[in-house]
């Protein structure tokens, strides 16, 4: 039986993929900060702080995995904003612990969750962003993801560790607990109240539904000898927040929303991510457009 280690298994991506791994009939070993498994899918669970000095020792006490999904860590710009040292400890040192484990246990494949924030803002409008360009993040969070990818390349080159990084767009869907404007809009419709979005209507997003994210992880775990090691994963669409609100109205109706036009963070001014490598090498094709994803999210998480 295949054993998969999922770090961050109680989190949004980790928990969602644990459900998929259970459908594969894999043995699931989970690790996260909480004292217990909240997924209901883990065969074995260990509370581990990946930013702590003993993280590697704690990981080594777990059963040797055949596969690793490293979904544990600080998960976005809105988390630990005032604590950059903690971001570094978890996302960089924690990833080092994962690759040290991989060096010892030699899993078939390690997949790490990276982010669109590895890219910096565009210098020119309309630029198509590809994985091979030099990353220039403008946040500590984004830099931590670039550093994690660099560790992946180094462990692969020096120790032969087989690993892939997936640069996700803005992930949404049932189970997300951190800031998500799609969720905020749908909740406002459900509660029949006005929605306030604390960013400008022109602020850009490249949303991707959690089901497409899990599908991409599955493909990345299974693909044989990919030429590339970093892949963009989005729905292949780019929208302003105003366009997202319009799509919610089209699909669900009833949304009244206002924006804060004085807040347009440069972190989100990122050109459209190319999916060419993900398609050619992983066979990844997004199945849920923003409209279809909003419908799915509404039915599963909000509809009465």
Q: Which CA distances in Å does 172 have to 11, 63, 205? A: 13, 31, 11
CATH code of the domain occupying 176-205+237-273+287-301: 3.90.25.10
pTM for the whole thing?
A: 0.96
Mean pLDDT by 10 residues, the chain (304 residues): 97 97 97 94 96 95 96 77 89 97 97 96 82 94 97 98 98 93 96 96 96 98 96 97 98 95 92 97 98 97 75
* Domain residue spans of the chain: 3-171+207-236, 176-205+237-273+287-301
Please indicate whether the domains covering 3-171+207-236 and 176-205+237-273+287-301 agree at the CATH topology level: no
d(CA 229, CA 149): 9
Q: Which CA distances in Å does 91 have to 75, 96, 140? A: 9, 9, 10
Pick among 1.10.300.10, 3.30.70.2190, 3.30.300.30, 3.40.50.720: CATH of 3-171+207-236: 3.40.50.720
């Amino acid at each position: 039986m295949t054993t998969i280690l999922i770090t961050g298994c109680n989190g949004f991506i980790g928990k969602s993929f644990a459900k998929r791994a259970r459908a594969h009939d894999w043995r699931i070993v989970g690790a996260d900060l909480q004292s217990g498994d909240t997924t209901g899918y883990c065969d074995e669970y260990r509370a581990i702080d990946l930013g702590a000095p003993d993280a590697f020792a704690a990981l080594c006490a777990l059963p040797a995995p055949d596969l690793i999904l490293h979904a544990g860590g600080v998960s976005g710009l809105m988390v630990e904003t005032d604590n950059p040292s903690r971001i570094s400890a978890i996302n960089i040192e924690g990833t080092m612990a994962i690759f040290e484990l991989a060096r010892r246990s030699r899993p078939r494949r390690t997949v790490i969750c990276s982010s669109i924030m590895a890219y910096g803002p565009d210098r020119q409008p309309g630029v198509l962003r590809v994985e091979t360009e030099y990353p220039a993040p403008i946040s500590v969070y984004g830099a931590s993801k670039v550093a994690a990818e660099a560790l992946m390349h180094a462990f692969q080159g020096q120790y032969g560790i087989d690993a892939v990084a997936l640069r996700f767009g803005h992930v949404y869907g049932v189970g997300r607990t951190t800031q998500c404007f799609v969720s905020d809009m749908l909740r406002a419709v459900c509660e029949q109240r006005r929605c306030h979005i604390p960013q400008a209507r022109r602020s850009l997003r490249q949303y991707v539904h959690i089901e497409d994210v899990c599908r991409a992880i599955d493909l990345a775990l299974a693909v044989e000898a990919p030429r590339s090691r970093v892949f963009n994963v989005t729905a292949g669409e780019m929208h302003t927040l105003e366009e997202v609100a319009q799509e919610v109205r089209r699909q669900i109706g009833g949304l009244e929303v206002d924006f804060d036009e004085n807040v347009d963070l440069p972190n989100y001014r990122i050109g459209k991510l190319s999916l060419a490598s993900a398609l050619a090498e992983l066979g990844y094709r997004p199945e849920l457009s923003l409209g279809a994803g909003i419908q799915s999210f509404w039915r599963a998480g909000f509809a009465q």
